[in-house]
Amino acid sequence: MCWQVWSRILGMIQRGSGLHFIYVDSMVTKWDYCEGKVLDQLHIHYNIGHLLTMEGDSVSPDGKYLVALNKLAIDRFNPVGPLHPQNHQLIDISGDKMQLLYDMPIPLGEPHYVVAIKADKLKPAVRYKSGWDSRTNKISPWKTRAGREKVVRKDGVVHVYGTVIRSHITPEIIEVEEGETVSIHLTNLERAEDETHGFAMYSQNVNLSIEPGKTVSATFVADKAGVYPYYCTEFCSALHLEMQGYLLVKPKGYVAKTGAKMTEGQKYTKADFDKQVKVNIDTQAIINSVVAFITAHNYKDFPEVVALVEDAFDQLGFAEESKKKSEGYAAKGDYQNATLWAGQHWQYQVKTADMGLRAKTFLEEHGAKKVEVKKAK
């Protein structure tokens, strides 16, 4: 190949592609560097600062596109303040004539020396190891497992070891005294891809993003008595709004008046328990039909689906544990705990069904084929 595209007074070459930008004229020039001849010029939006071609900085440039990275965008987009968007323009350079395809304004400074790589070179991690601190890149000392949530007061700090999972933040209530330092450590128990939860607390400047497996901490001084709601900021499932709780900050030295008593929480009855069990049986029927669909197809040929199925079975394992606990309490006539665990069982079923349906849709959209299913004798 003997041509290049230029775009600066002294120019910047995208190696192997022969493209240059011309700053003052606001142009991209394509030229034949063997013959010293200009092949084509394209006006772009002012003012071009850099160029980017697909893998243009490598020894084997690839693709048919160039992006003009322009510095200024006055008059082009709606003004939204002193900082105007920077305009990036996508150009097709495959033919004799370059062709402008697309404008992309972004609210950042114009990037320098940008590199474009093929999407299939990306091999990102899907989830962190459970309890991972992404800042120190090792297991967090604050990692918490399901059922091990606790509040510990140590060296003048209230440490909250909490967890988040669809669709619950544990603990739901945190009680501290005015002036105490509070350190909240949250572990996302999810293993499913893209199941990030958020955690925002009113008035305490706490706003966390907690990706699957991650443990993250936030520390603040609860310096004003009051009730501060916290909640998940990601729309993580249909039961997303269940993910909330309250920080209660008692006035310093507050003593409850005599006679003031906490009222008992809601008591579930056998009827509540039976109702939840019926819902769980119906949900299981949906799961079974989805599993039947998936296993009747060549799902093992689709790594995305295999990952979803693994996650789904993980969740179903948790579901089994909750079901056993619920049945154990019911056998003892403790319908309060039996109903709570039956509800937990259902939560895991919903997660399983959610992943199963995503897997089913993927198979339908990617032309999965039917396979022979061995019948159990």
Q: How many Å from the N-terminal Cα to the C-terminal Cα in the chain?
A: 65
Closer CB to Cu ion, residue 181 or residue 196? Answer: 196
At closest approach, how far in Å is the CB of 166 from Cu ion? 6
Residues near Cu ion (CB under 5 A): 197, 232, 234, 236, 243
CB of 155: closest distance to Cu ion in angstroms?
A: 31
Contacts 24+ apart (CB under 8 A), 118-122: 118/54, 118/55, 118/62, 118/63
Please report how close the Cβ of residue 344 comes to Cu ion at its closest, in angstroms. 16
Q: What angle do CA 327, 328, 329 make, to 5 degrees?
A: 90
If the CB atoms of residues 54 and 184 are measured against Cu ion, the closer one turns out to be: 184
Task: Of 78, 57, 79, give the one whose Cα is nearest residue 67.
Answer: 57
Quick check: helix, strand or coil at residue 110?
A: coil
Three-state DSSP class for residue 132: strand
68 vs 165 by CB, closer to Cu ion? 165
Q: Which residue number, 134 or 233, has a Cβ lying nearer to Cu ion?
A: 233
In whole angstroms, the minimum distance from the beta carbon of 232 to Cu ion comes to 3
Residue at token pair 């008593």? 261
Shortest Cβ 167–Cu ion spacing (Å) = 7
Closest distance to Cu ion from the beta carbon of 236 (Å): 3
E strand residue ranges, the chain: 3-7, 19-22, 27-32, 37-43, 48-53, 65-70, 86-92, 99-106, 132-133, 138-139, 150-154, 157-165, 168-170, 173-177, 181-188, 197-201, 206-210, 215-221, 226-231, 244-250
Quick check: helix, strand or coil at residue 280? Answer: helix
Before 303, cis peptide (omega within 30)? Answer: no
* Integer Cα distance of 134 and 187 in angstroms: 12
Residue type, 22: I
Closer to Cu ion by CB, 232 or 247: give it: 232
Minimum distance from residue 238 beta carbon to Cu ion (Å): 11
Show the tokens assigned to 260. 């003031």
CA separation (Å) from 228 to 145, 174, 191? 25, 10, 29
Q: Which is nearer to Cu ion, 42 or 232 (CB)?
A: 232
Cα 192 from Cα 126, distance rounded (Å): 8
Q: In terms of CB distance, is 110 or 234 closer to Cu ion? A: 234
Measured from the CB atom, is 191 or 197 closer to Cu ion? 197
Cβ closest to Cu ion, residue 195 vs residue 272: 195
Q: How far is the CB of 216 from Cu ion (least distance, A)?
A: 14
CB of 240 to Cu ion, least distance (A): 5
| β 157-165/181-188 pair status | parallel
Q: How far is the CB of 303 from Cu ion (least distance, A)?
A: 26
In the bound state with Cu ion, the residue whose beta carbon lies nearer, of 197 and 214, is 197
Residues 6+ apart with CB under 8 A from 183: 157, 158, 159, 160, 217, 218, 219
